[in-house]
Structure 1
Amino acid sequence: MPIKIPDQLPAASTLRQENIFVMSETRAESQNIRPLKVLLLNLMPKKIETETQFMRLLSNSPIQVDVELLRIDDRPSKNTPTEHLDTFYRQFQGIRERNFDGLIVTGAPLGLVQFEDVIYWEHLQDIMNWAKDHVTSTLYVCWAAQAGLKLLYDLPKKTRKEKLSGVYWHKTHKEHSKNPILRGFDDSFLAPHSRYADFSPEFLAEHTDLDILATSATAGTYLAATKDKRNVFVTGHPEYDSHTLHNEYVRDVGEGMEPTVPSNYYPDDDPTQEPYVSWRSHGHMLFANWLNYCVYQQTPYDLDHFSESAFTKDDDDE
């Protein structure tokens, strides 16, 4: 969140150069505050586990965030009680006339499935197209990032030969160091991945106009965004709990898939030992920045008057 100091205070210029958000007195006097309306489209099978992970990251903000849960369709779930879905989740038809400050689209275990073979692909396209006119900023996570790139840039599905699983070092890109999404990031940081999708920085740079904000020598592109910050792509899983990668590994071993041990996750790469968390602080910082700079600082105060004008206003961040 910003600090408010006198417009002419010498520290204001210095702090802005250090990529710290300083709000002028003039802007602060006219600023209205209300709860943010964020929609979570949960595509993961274990919905209770996933919704808890994302709620944890969304809670790390001084702004009140009103979260609503959205399901992709009304098919029965093998991993989530029907009573839970009926009580807490909404259908798209029930919210499509409304506007939201933010939308999060989770990953899905569909890494080896072609888009046209995904049973709800057309419905997902409808929701993503709807978001263009009804949502201030959309955050695509893991498989959803690949789906979003297909929708917005018509990029083909690119699949790795082997599953990427583990916790990897990433670096922020200096040419985008002033991007507010990166505020507070270290030059290098750790984040988990669990995917077959391939996000080559070179391929994205050649075929899109995205700002590529963070990459890994092993995992490729990790964080990218459109220049207006209305679409943010995270190819990993900053929301993962300490044992999520472990549970996936045990599941794949049980199914006879002979998976590789998740990299840089267990002490000494020994899956009999307790894994340790090395990405939690980064995950909280990323979601706090998205909520603040991509949503709160961009969204109209009155969501009933949602329009493109909300994204062309002057911004002290830039």
Structure 2
Amino acid sequence: MAPTSTKQWVIKGLNGFEDLAFTEAPIPPVGENEVLVHLRGASLNYRDLIIPKGLYPFPIRSPLVAGSDGAGEVVAVGSKVTRWKQGDRVITLFNQGHQYGPIDTVSVGTGLGGALDGTLRQYAVFNENGLVRAPSNLNFVESATLTCAGLTSWNALYGLKPLQPGQTVLVQGTGGVSIFGLQFAKAAGARVIATTSSAQKAETLKKLGADHVINYKEDPNWGETARKLTPDGEGVDHILEVGGQASLEQSMKAIKLEGVISIIGFLGGPKGSSTSDLGVPDALKHVCTLRGVVVGSRAQMEDMVRAIEAKNIKPVIDKQVFSLDKAREAHKYMWQQRHFGKVGIVID
């Protein structure tokens, strides 16, 4: 018998994690171009944490089902669906409307867990174009990490000025986007410089393939250090900037002429100090591109899945994996920065 209801986490307000409510709701009917998915795995992003805290800088709809990342299996398909059949393993596309090419104003407003109901639930109905085939070498929780962190890294490295073998990539910290950036860069034959504040995490980064690791607390001028580590001291080709204004000054010191700094997040805070308020003269001085990255398209995600299978890339999942009913605890765990890599959630 087909399921008629789903357990889910709903964002009821924007005052903190206590506004996350574990509820049960009926499953909507499947339209002719839609697919019913039994979600089996999810993962968390920094975005998922700041939305219920009221810190997200973009418009959201509330109440709505929480969660950006999901993976599962197709349970039922609409009468006009051609992409999927029952039993197919799929991943959710974050911006459901971003199919290919540059993102537009319509597509940017179709994000799961912000504009549209998200993935922290057992069952969900999606348009057939809002799903991508899951990699054959990954389980459901691993596959779920690709929706935001994986695709954001892929877009940063290949969306504007594709990474070339022998180039240098700089990643910041040990969050999901940065770890994926390290893995994708090494798989492409690039060298990687990573930054961290922890000696223990530095060793893990080296094990994952980082060629150089800089402790930014011990070396506050890490941008110049990173530049010196590149061939002929010319600078870094690609930087995955997750710190935002707080670290952009050092990224500018590290970037190569005509290099690309992909602005992905603002873990250091949405605004920096007066000394790091960079502007037009800085971009001209360094002759670089500062590019905002909002995840990526379905076409890019399909490319990424093929690369993950070809290179057998395995996402780094934190040792602490949570069940769906413990999703609030998962939010708190990640907020306390106790994780390494992605925080995974198993959905029964």
For normalisation by structure 1, the TM-score amounts to 0.32
- The structure with the largest helix share of the pair is 1
